[in-house]
């Protein structure tokens, strides 16, 4: 098997760049340090030295279905991480577009320099001393499943134990993204972006391509 | 420290639900199986039994900065995972909104049932037999850093070795999301959504909240 022999290869594409009409679609190698995709934005909460602290994180997603395990990666020196390691539990808070400034604030300053315990109205749920943000449409309490040490980050895997919302963010009993109004982080550019429109139903629109 | 003593608690919130004017903002416990945030959508590629195969994944994000490590979680039985485990390398392909139907197609059907090797025009780069999708504005070749076994998924951590794009997706030498036009996956509802508008600059708009 030699895939370069019978498929369009990078080298082939680069060669075709002499043909001006093809140049626009020529593949070029770019900096491999990029991560050019929309990232969800969350506020991670934990008690640190007796006070609620929150940090903004974009390196986050679901990692397992049942149990519901979420993973978030953060620099090893973050103040909130101290609380997560010590308590074995933390919160994940999903801000709406209205909270974009406060969300950015929690990403700029460390809890070591700035007291973030009064940035939001804090509430607590079943797990006890896990601070959650009342202004966030959806929040969750997680217990640490495992912390994986990567070269520069700690990858915190947490199992969702309890989740909270309000009736006003639901339609027919289910959370409605048109009401929770999440936003994403875009790099390069380092901007927060709102969401647009639904463009198709998953597990459905692709069926047209089955022969 | 007893946070329940001096902060608004869930129980307090539930009690206040008798007051009709507050009811709309009452916190209620919801199904902890939710994952209500926008997820990036990628197509993961690998050679499996000599053929290019692609699977759609939404449980994905960056996990470490330098080196650039991305993590993706997928069910342990997926066909593409066989190729990743065997070859120790894979591709990540970022589709634009124009590819939403083909992207959904790759998420519905397994490579065991359906030949996806001709769904896209495939090209290869520096790592050799790692199939990438020519129609995707940005693609990357990754080598496996580590595979972490979670209860129902394999969390594949890959280091980005090479990344590829085209001049037409860039502005001033940097990838431009207004040109790459990514989309996200939204659950509940299971829909793909386009992005909206920039709503603020990160590391900047939050400074107003510093005293």
Kindly report, residue by residue over B73-132, the tens digit of the pLDDT.
999 999 999 999 999 999 999 999 999 999 999 999 999 999 999 999 999 999 999 999
- Residue closest to A143 by CA, chosen among A156, A160, A129: A160
Residue range A164-184: average pLDDT? 97
d(CA B136, CA B182): 10
SS3 content of chain A, % helix, strand, coil (to 5): 25, 40, 35
CB contact under 8 A, B7 and A123: yes
Closest-CA distance, B81 to chain A, in angstroms, reads 15
Whether A57 contacts chain B with CB within 8 A: no
Whether B53 contacts chain A with CB within 8 A: no
B54 pLDDT more than 90: yes
Question: Is B56 within 8 Å of B42 (Cβ atoms)?
Answer: yes
Q: Work out how many CB contacts closer than 8 A connect A with B.
A: 402
**Main-chain phi, psi angles of B25, to 5 degrees:** -110, 20
B10 pLDDT more than 50: no
* pLDDT per position as a tens digit, A86-97: 999 999 999 999
Structure confidence at residue A9 (pLDDT):
37
Q: What does each C-alpha distance from A145 to A64, A193, B72 come to in angstroms?
A: 11, 31, 17
| Interface test mutation site (partner B, options A52, A61, A76, A122, max chain B beta carbons within 10 A) | A61
CB contact under 8 A, A27 and B164: yes
Domains of chain A: 39-192 (2.30.110.10)
Residues in A touching B73 (Cβ below 8 Å): 61-64, 71
CB contact under 8 A, A36 and B180: yes
Structure confidence at residue A180 (pLDDT):
98
Structure confidence at residue B211 (pLDDT):
74
CB contact under 8 A, B38 and A33: no
d(CA A158, CA B155): 14
Whether B9 contacts chain A with CB within 8 A: yes
Burial of A32 (0-12, 13-18, 19+ CB in 10 A): middle
Question: Is A48 within 8 Å of A89 (Cβ atoms)?
Answer: no
d(CA A128, CA A57): 23
3-state secondary structure A123-161: EECCCCCCCEECCCCEEEEEEEEEEEECCCEEEEEEEEE
Residue range B10-30: average pLDDT? 58
Q: Cβ neighbours of residue A20 under 8 Å, at least 6 residues apart?
A: none
A177 pLDDT more than 90: yes
Closest-CA distance, A122 to chain B, in angstroms, reads 7
- Residue closest to A58 by CA, chosen among A42, A44, A46: A42
Note which residues in 12-41 of chain B have CB less than 8 A from chain A.
Answer: 13, 23-40
Residues of chain A with pLDDT > 90, as a percent, come to 87
Confidence label for B60 from pLDDT (cuts 50, 70 and 90): very high
Whether B200 contacts chain A with CB within 8 A: yes
* pLDDT per position as a tens digit, A114-127: 999 999 999 999 99
CB contact under 8 A, B164 and A189: no
Helices then strands, each counted (H, E), chain A? 6, 16
Q: How many CB atoms lie within 10 A of CB A50?
A: 10
SS3 content of chain B, % helix, strand, coil (to 5): 25, 40, 35
Q: What does each C-alpha distance from B144 to A156, B66, B72, B139 come to in angstroms?
A: 20, 15, 11, 16
Classify A71 as helix, strand or coil.
strand
Residues in B touching A11 (Cβ below 8 Å): none
Closest residue to A150, CB basis, from B64, B100, B128: B64
Structure confidence at residue B25 (pLDDT):
83
Whether A5 contacts chain B with CB within 8 A: no
Tell me the sheet residues that pair with A45: A54, A91
Residue range A58-73: average pLDDT? 98
A112 pLDDT more than 50: yes
Q: Cβ neighbours of residue B173 under 8 Å, at least 6 residues apart?
A: none
Residues of chain B with pLDDT > 90, as a percent, come to 87
Q: How many CB atoms lie within 10 A of CB B171?
A: 12
Structure confidence at residue A211 (pLDDT):
75
Residues in A touching B68 (Cβ below 8 Å): 32-35
Question: What value does the mean pLDDT of chain B take?
Answer: 91
| Interface test mutation site (partner B, options A24, A72, A104, A115, max chain B beta carbons within 10 A) | A104
């Amino acid at each position: 098997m030699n895939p370069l022999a019978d498929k369009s290869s990078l080298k082939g594409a680069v060669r075709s760049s002499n043909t001006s009409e093809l140049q626009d679609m020529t593949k070029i190698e770019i900096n491999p340090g990029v991560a050019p995709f929309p990232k969800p934005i969350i506020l991670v909460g934990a008690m640190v030295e007796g006070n609620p602290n929150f940090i903004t994180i974009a390196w986050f997603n679901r990692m397992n279905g049942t149990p519901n395990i979420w993973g978030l990666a953060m620099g090893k020196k973050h103040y909130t991480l101290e609380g997560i390691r010590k308590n074995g539990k933390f919160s994940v808070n999903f801000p709406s577009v209205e909270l974009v400034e406060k969300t950015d604030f929690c990403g700029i300053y460390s809890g070591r320099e700035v007291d973030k315990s009064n940035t939001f109205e804090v509430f607590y749920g079943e797990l006890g001393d896990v601070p959650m943000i009342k202004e966030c449409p959806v929040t969750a309490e997680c217990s640490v499943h495992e912390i994986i040490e990567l070269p520069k980050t700690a990858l915190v895997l947490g199992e969702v134990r309890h989740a909270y919302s309000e009736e006003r963010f639901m339609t027919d009993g289910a959370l409605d993204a048109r009401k929770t109004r999440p936003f994403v982080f875009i790099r390069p550019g380092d901007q927060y972006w709102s969401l647009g429109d639904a463009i198709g139903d998953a597990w459905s629109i692709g069926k047209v391509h089955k022969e």
